Amino acid sequence: MTSSTPGPDQNLKVKMGVNPSRRPVRVIGRIRGFTCQESESFSHDSPKPWITVSKPEHHGASSETTLTLSFLDQFNNSQKEASYKLDYCYEQDEDTGTLFAREIEPLTSDVLNGGHASIIAYGARGSGKTYTIQGAENKPGIAVMTMTELLSKAEETGKSVSISIFEVQQEHAYDLLDPKHSEVQVLEDCRGKINLKGLSKVPVKSILEFQNIYFSMSNISKSAHKIPHEHTRRSHKCLIIHVLAMNDNSTPKLVGKMNFVDLAGYEDSRRISRDGSALLDRTNKSLHTLLNVVYALNANEMHVPYRESKLTHIFKESLRGTGHVVLLTCLNPHVCQDTLRTLSLASRSCQSTNHVLTESLNNAKSSARFKMLSSQNSMKPFCTPSARQPAVSSLHLSAKGTSCVSKGRKLFEEGKNITSNQTRLPQDDCSDKKLEFVPEIAAAVSPSMLKKVSQEKSIPESVAVSPSKLKKALQVESILDNPSAFVPDGLVFQEKSNPEFSLDPELKENDISAHKRSKNLELIPAVVCEKSPLQDGSVIRKETLNEHGSPPLSERLRQLSNSLKSFCSSTPLHVKMLDNGDAQHNVIEPKTPIFEYGARVTERSEITKYSSPWELLSKRSSGMKDSLVQEYLRFLNSASKEELKGLRGIGEKRATYILQLREESPEPFKSLDDLQDIGLSAKQVKGMMKKMAGDLFS
Ligand SMILES: Nc1ncnc2c1ncn2[C@@H]1O[C@H](COP(=O)(O)OP(=O)(O)OP(=O)(O)O)[C@@H](O)[C@H]1O
């Protein structure tokens, strides 16, 4: 490995554990040293390093380390190079002690004073995760070093230390300190506090005692529950060090917490047999969710998908807020496809636009493809389907052989790594791509209108236009021009002053303010039919109202179904601009769609057609799904107790609890994830939604 690093002394002076990049999560790498076997096998002929590390001269607040990986692209059989940026990378000549001194030791004082810290190691199999966290014989890992430090500091300050050890397998957590290895329940109260019900805590007085327990647990984990080796290999090992202080009444009170997570080795499910791949998908899901959480935290996003995996749910409290989080990416010192993949994911979690592809040798065509994929993937690290990301699993449909191909998708399908079997490069994961939204919008409007909206939104006309904002803006624009075109069967709009229809009066003020107020619009017919009659003083037919004055869910779903059916069967809307370009004179005119298959996205996003009918269908199905979910959530947020009890899975107790939640917050259900607050598992929620979607067409 080559680098331009400052000397080790200088390195040690720079305490990096307190995140200098000021992002909530620090993402670092570590290239593992060679094992004795490896060293022996190339004692005469050391392999050429495949990772080159380039560090800045001085570690300033925003300094980053660039890793350049040289590898053979198996798809094209050509040599490639890819560069990734991490917050820092430890090379083979930097030992665990150096990593501890710079990253972890500075966090221990904080933990003793009530802070939370989490160190999460992940990487391909055999990349040195366990070696770094736990250590090997006579080579203590960072958990052991941390315990030594905490025990000595705790003694000085009259505090005590205890530990919990558990593993997460296939979305279930098992207590390894309990001889029965009973399952640990993850409970979350309405304030978001996580309680790990049934998890043992064992007091630790000395480092020897700790090592005895910790190391024996790793062996126990392998034989626990008679679980097949394949399963234990794919479990995540977690250690929590609790720092306790005595209360005035001499009872121990938790002050700080330090978590160490040794994730199961990342393996690409595409290489595994069918059964193994299903197992692996669930194992990898923890990593994907974790990286999405990291991305969301670093990007300061409103929604952080903690509850999409057991692991992130367990550590929710430590990950969010003021806790320190260090994501340790372990890297194999020799060419490894899975290492490429994990690095690619890590780099994107580090910050949204980290991945820069530097060179592509031999093949100009593949170079173009490579760069395009790279630019598209500069968003979220991985698409884990959720209620909040409903479009992701379906939107990334493209021609066979390109990235992110999804076949036979279903509504409410379980999460899958949607990637092409053919694309073997690290950039082939799904991301929330801006570019891929654009054809949908562009197909419905003329280029001049696109331009107009771009200008109004004060954003560039090119691909940088946020498609979702643009889409919403255009929807409002279309509704304004011809609202009656969007009225579904079973609904009539009525305005106090205008007997024909009504829209939010604010929408009429001017187009720009209308765009701004359209934040909640997702699907034109569904939103208009729901929003206008219920919130804007309009009425729906009398027979659809129940005794509480609101339509029952079944009725609203029927309306939704009708509107969606008519929407699907109708032709896309083409918005014609009059020559003078005045938006007020725009007319909406249904036209037979013209598809030009194979139309590609150009550099400046001048796309005007869908690439296939499949893509169109997929996008519309995704909208339907989203609409149904929104409708369901709205019902939960507004229906009476009796109405709620009419829903599958909701009885007297749950209905009462929902009403209580609504007293605390007017809209407690913002995503399907929130249904876990009323004790419904993700599986139950999925079943309910599937049933509801099925009922629409029965
Ligand atoms: N920095 C290092 N120097 C020397 N040997 C190392 C280093 N890191 C790891 N090793 C060795 O590499 C091998 C694999 O390491 P380890 O078991 O920690 O990997 P892992 O990522 O935890 O694997 P898995 O995903 O299968 O759990 C072990 O034999 C370990 O001793």
Q: Are strands 116-123 and 324-331 parallel, antiparallel or unpaired?
A: parallel
Q: Does 561 count as an annotated binding residue? A: no
| DSSP percent split of the chain into helix, strand, coil, nearest 5 | 45, 15, 40
pLDDT-based confidence at 107, cuts 50/70/90?
very high
Dist CA 218 CA 71 (whole Å): 34
Q: What per-residue confidence (pLDDT) applies to 119?
A: 96
pLDDT in tens, 347-365: 776 654 344 433 333 333 3
Residue that has been written with the tokens 């079973």 in this structure: 490
Total domains present in the chain? 2
CA distance 661 to 674: 11
Q: Please give the Cα distance from 437 to 225 (Å, whole number).
A: 47
Ligand 1 neighbour 33 (Cβ under 6 A): yes
The DSSP H or E segment spanning 210 is helix 207-223
Q: Is the pLDDT of residue 120 over 90?
A: yes
pLDDT tens digits, one per residue of 262-271:
999 887 755 5
Out of 9-18, 118-127, 345-354, 433-442, the most confident range is 118-127
Task: Indicate if ligand 1 lies below 6 Å from the C-beta of 90.
Answer: no
What ipTM was estimated for this complex? 0.98
Q: Whose CA is nearest to atom 16 of ligand 1?
A: 128
Amino acid in the structure at residue 558: R
* Confidence band for 40, pLDDT divided at 50, 70 and 90: confident
Considering 335, 350, 365, which residue would you say is the last residue of a domain?
A: 350
Q: Tell me the pLDDT tens digit for each residue of 323-345.
A: 889 999 999 888 777 888 888 77
What does the DSSP 8-state code read for residue 362?
S
Give me the domain span that covers residue 126.
91-350
Reference 480, options 503, 498, 448, 454; nearest CA is: 503
Predicted pLDDT at 184: 93
**Is 694 known to sit in a ligand binding site?**
no
Q: What is the number of residues in the chain?
A: 698
- Asked if residue 586 belongs to a domain, the reply is no
- Sort strands 160-169 and 78-86 into parallel, antiparallel or unpaired: unpaired
Residue 34 — pLDDT band, cuts 50, 70, 90? confident
Q: Is residue 285 predicted with pLDDT exceeding 90?
A: no
Ligand 1, atom 23, lies closest to the CA of 126
Beta carbon of 127 within 6 Å of any ligand 1 atom: yes
| Distance separating alpha carbons of residues 379 and 352, to the nearest angstrom | 5
Task: Give, in order, the Cα–Cα distances in Å from 86 to each of 23, 32, 62.
Answer: 12, 16, 11
Ligand 1: which atom is nearest the Cα of residue 131?
A: 18
Residues 6+ apart with CB under 8 A from 413: 385, 393
What is the whole-number distance in angstroms between the Cα of residue 1 and the centre of ligand 1?
Answer: 18
Q: Which residue has the higher pLDDT, 379 or 372?
A: 379
Tokens describing residue 602 = 């150009």
Residues 6+ apart with CB under 8 A from 110: 117, 256, 324
Distances (CA, A) of 203 to 116, 221, 533, 536, 628: 19, 20, 61, 61, 50
Query: Looking at the predicted structure, is the pLDDT value of residue 391 above 70?
Result: no
User: pLDDT tens-digit profile of 177-195?
Assistant: 988 888 999 998 877 788 8
Report the half-sphere exposure of 170 (CA within 13 A, side-chain side). 11
Separation CA 631–CA 348 (nearest Å): 33
Task: Decide if 478 is inside a domain.
Answer: no
- pLDDT interval class at 626 (50, 70, 90): confident
**Mean per-residue pLDDT for 487-495?**
34
Whether the CB-CB separation of 692 and 633 falls below 8 Å is answered with no
Domain termination site, one of 325, 350, 375: 350
Q: Ranked by mean pLDDT, which of 400-409, 412-421, 546-555 comes out on top?
A: 546-555
What's the first-to-final CA gap in the chain, in angstroms? 63
CA of 335 to the centre of ligand 1 (A): 15
Report yes or no on 556 lying in a domain.
Answer: no
- Confidence tier at 619 by pLDDT (50, 70, 90): confident
- 125-134 pLDDT, tens digit per residue, is 899 999 999 9
Q: In this structure, what is the dihedral angle of CA atoms 621, 627, 632, 636, given to the nearest 10 degrees?
A: 160
Q: How wide is the angle at C-alpha 417 spanned by C-alphas 412 and 423, nearest 5°?
A: 140
Task: Quote the CA–CA distance of 23 and 87 in Å, as a whole number.
Answer: 10
How many other CB atoms are there within 10 angstroms of residue 254's CB atom? 12
The alpha carbon of 233 and the centre of ligand 1 are apart by a number of angstroms equal to 14
SS (H, E, C) 371-421: HHHHHHCCCCCCCCCCCCCCCHHHHCCCCCCCCCCCCCCCCCCCCCCCCCC
pLDDT for 209 equals 94
Please state, as a whole number, how many other Cβ atoms lie within 10 Å of the Cβ of residue 615. 22
Whether 679 is covered by a domain: the verdict is yes
* Ligand 1 contact, 232 CB (< 6 A): no
Which atom in ligand 1 lies closest to the alpha carbon of residue 95? Answer: 1
- pLDDT above 60 (res 617): yes
455 in a structural domain: no
Report whether residue 32 contacts ligand 1, using a CB cutoff of 6 Å: yes
Both tokens assigned to 629: 């979910």
- Asked if residue 678 lies in contact with residue 657, where contact means CB atoms within 8 angstroms, the answer is yes
CB 91 within 8 A of CB 34: no
Distance between CA 69 and CA 6 in Å, rounded?
A: 22
Contact status, residue 262 vs residue 237, Cβ threshold 8 Å? yes
Q: Phi then psi for 399, rounded to 5 degrees?
A: -60, 150
Which one has a higher pLDDT value, 287 or 567? 287
Residue 206 has pLDDT above 90, yes or no: yes
Q: How high is the mean pLDDT of the chain?
A: 64
Torsion sign across C-alpha atoms 336, 342, 347, 352: positive
Give the pLDDT band (50/70/90) at residue 641.
confident
The tokens describing 137, both together, are 């014989």
> Which of 77, 611, 28, 577 has its CA nearest to residue 362?
77
Can you give the pLDDT at residue 572?
Answer: 40
Question: pLDDT class for 204, splitting at 50, 70, 90?
Answer: very high
595 in Cβ contact with 604 (< 8 Å): no
Q: How far apart are CA 258 and CA 501, in angstroms?
A: 60
Given 316, 350, 384, the domain boundary residue is 350
Q: Residue 308 domain-assigned?
A: yes
CB 387 less than 6 A from any atom of ligand 1: no
Burial class (CB in 10 A: 0-12, 13-18, 19+), 323: buried
Report yes or no on 242 lying in a domain: yes
Q: How close is the Cα of 332 to the center of ligand 1, in Å? A: 9
Distance 565 CA to ligand 1 centre (A): 56
Contact 48, 311 (CB under 8 A): no
Question: What is the domain-level CATH number for residue 309?
Answer: 3.40.850.10
* Cβ of residue 97 lying under 6 Å from some atom of ligand 1: no
pLDDT at 406 over 50: no
pLDDT score for 411: 36
The span from the CA of 417 to the CA of 372, in Å, is 20
Ligand 1 pocket, residue 142 CB under 6 Å = no
What pLDDT was estimated at residue 145?
A: 97
Nearest CA, atom 15, ligand 1: 128
Indicate whether 689 pLDDT > 80: yes
Ligand 1 pocket member 329 (CB < 6 A)? no
Phi and psi angles of residue 403, each rounded to the nearest 5 degrees, phi first:
-70, 160
Pairing state between β 51-54 and 65-73: antiparallel
Hey, which of 31, 32, 334, 339 would you mutate to test ligand 1's pocket, going by the most ligand atoms within 8 Å of its Cβ?
32
Q: Is any ligand 1 atom within 6 A of the Cβ of residue 276?
A: no
Angle between helix 524-535 and 613-638 (nearest 10): 20
Would you state the pLDDT for residue 282?
Answer: 62
Local confidence band at 565 (pLDDT 50, 70, 90 cut-offs): low
pTM strictly above 0.90 = no
pLDDT at 582 over 80: no
pLDDT of residue 563: 59
How far does the centroid of ligand 1 lie from the alpha carbon of residue 7, in Å?
26
From 177, 174, 244, select the one nearest 205 (Cα to Cα).
244
Whether 560 is covered by a domain: the verdict is no
Q: Is residue 610 scored above 50 in pLDDT?
A: yes
Out of 17-21, 231-235, 236-240, 397-401, pick the least confident: 397-401
- For the Cβ of 237 lying below 6 angstroms from any atom of ligand 1, the answer is no
pLDDT tops 90 at residue 229: no
300 versus 490: which is more confidently predicted? 300
Is residue 548 scored above 80 in pLDDT?
no
Over range 375-399, report the average pLDDT: 33
Q: Domain holding 678: CATH number? A: 1.10.150
Amino acid at 517: R
Instruction: Answer whether 234 contacts ligand 1 (Cβ < 6 A).
Output: no
pLDDT of residue 163: 96
User: What is the predicted pLDDT for the residue at 75?
Assistant: 62
